[in-house]
Amino acid sequence: MSLTTRITLLILAVVATMVLSGALLIFSNARQTVANELDASAEATMQLLSAVFHTGSAVGNRRPMDVLIEELGRIDGIRDLNVTVNHSGYAAPRSVTIPAQQHASAAPWWFEMMVTPEIRAYRRQFDGISETPVDILITPDPHDEIGRVWRDTRTILALIAFFTAVSIVLTWLIVRRALRPVQEISSGLDIIQEGNYKARLPAFDLPELNQLSQKFNHMASVLDRQKTENKALSRRMLQMLEANQRHMAQELHDELGQSITAIKAQAASLTQACPENRAAAGAIVDICNQMYTVVRGMMNRLRPLVLDELGLVTAIERLVDGWNSIHENTFTALSISGDFSDLDDEVSIHVYRIVQEALTNIAKHARASNVTILLQRARDGRLTLHIEDDGQGFDPQTRPLGMGLSGMQNRADSCNGNLSLVGIPGRGVKIDLSIPDTTESNKENTRPK
């Protein structure tokens, strides 16, 4: 759940509590109003009936019951009351009930349930005017009064509901606007997490958030500077490594190669001088040839001579051919297109090493049947390399990258390129390298001094 939603729900809970408290207070006041109106109406009606009774009893010989019934019919609107008159002065006791005047109530059932008060009946006997007492019972009926209170209350409730809804919407909009900088900060952190240290945050209106923005920008600037320095150091380290390996390969070629050649020459001279030592001299020559094969393999691993002599295309072709000849259960298909004649030497060795490391990892871990290598160079100097196998694959999120893959990433960074690796368990691995400009003139301008 987002921070905006949480704060909005919290404010909504507070508003709902206040609205509920206000509604309960309104219902309590409405209930009290209904009770007061019913009591006042009952008392007023009782006083009116008392006056009518005394007045009617003084007129001739008319019975009080007849007078009351006649006068009750003349009263204009007995509201909310059921009036029952009992008189035993007739041959048979007589009881007359005049029900309350009913009107259609618009109040819903829940409102009636909330505001209906405790009903209290009013009873009074009139003695001394006739031979037998007259008993009057007034029972309030709140139905009509609740309807009138509802007509007054529903307007207030509607206003409360309207302003509550408006308050919730405005609160959500205000909270969302106020927390927008937090979302921008979160997005900036996501970009930083992806390794893009160029992300910067704008200035914010709130001093606290603006201070946080300044610290974020400073952090990103430091990380970007350190990333640039690390790339320069890594590039310099790789340059020194390749230079040392080239020097070692050259030393092996010049010193050990010449020594092996001299030993072979001495063995041939020994054969001519002492024919009886021909077998021993032949064994020496065979050992020298084996040593030279081993030394040539070491030189090729340190620095492929074919790369310096014939270029990247031929070097990779021979690398793939040699790999196919060794790994009979896996076939590597190679496709190369574009002009590589003016390719920078540093880019050449890095691309060669990336292909070499990828094939080594496939041989060790992939258990693949087919490997595809696509090397292309566009007219604008952009170089792309795609390596894909159909092996067992792996999940880069759960399996840390080894030294080989990290070295491939460092080599891509040294060429100002982008390296992406996609591994899917059971579906192989895809490696894509993209170098924007690989011309010799451009690399001369970007090499560290």
- Find the helix packing angle between 3-57 and 143-178, rounded to 10°: 160
- Residue 418's nearest CA partner among 434, 439, 396 is 434
- Find the helix packing angle between 207-251 and 345-361, rounded to 10°: 90
pLDDT of the chain, 449 residues: tens digit per residue? 666 677 778 888 888 888 888 888 888 888 888 788 777 877 777 777 777 666 654 444 455 556 666 665 555 445 566 777 676 654 444 444 555 455 545 678 887 788 888 777 778 776 655 556 777 777 777 777 777 778 778 788 888 888 888 888 888 888 777 777 877 888 888 888 877 888 888 888 778 888 888 898 899 889 888 888 887 887 788 778 777 877 787 777 777 878 888 888 888 887 777 877 778 888 888 888 888 888 877 777 777 777 878 889 999 998 999 899 988 889 999 999 998 888 888 888 899 989 999 998 898 888 899 999 999 999 888 999 999 999 888 876 666 566 678 888 888 888 888 999 888 888 889 999 999 876 654 444 444 44
Label residues 314-351 b or e (16+ Cβ within 10 Å = b). Answer: ebbeebbeebbeeeeebebebebebebeebbebbbbbb
- Residue 385's nearest CA partner among 443, 442, 337, 326 is 337
Q: What are the tokens at 42?
A: 């009952």
The domain spans of the chain are 3-178, 307-449
Residue 94: per-residue pLDDT? 47
Beta-bridge partners for 334:
373
| CA–CA gap between residue 314 and residue 284 (Å, rounded) | 34
Residue 305: per-residue pLDDT? 76
| CA–CA gap between residue 319 and residue 355 (Å, rounded) | 9
| CA–CA gap between residue 267 and residue 285 (Å, rounded) | 7
Coil vs helix vs strand at 80: coil
Residue 178: per-residue pLDDT? 76
Third-level CATH fold of 307-449: Heat Shock Protein 90 (3.30.565)
- Find the helix packing angle between 207-251 and 278-302, rounded to 10°: 160
Is the pTM above the cut of 0.85? no
Residue 314: per-residue pLDDT? 92
To which H or E segment does residue 383 belong? strand 383-389
Residue 447: per-residue pLDDT? 47
Q: What are the tokens at 233?
A: 């150091």
- Token match 């590039």: residue? 235
Residue 388: per-residue pLDDT? 94
Residue 63: per-residue pLDDT? 58
- Token match 């007259």: residue? 134
Coil vs helix vs strand at 330: coil
Residue 394: per-residue pLDDT? 80
DSSP letter at 201 equals P
Residue 77: per-residue pLDDT? 46
| CA–CA gap between residue 446 and residue 449 (Å, rounded) | 9
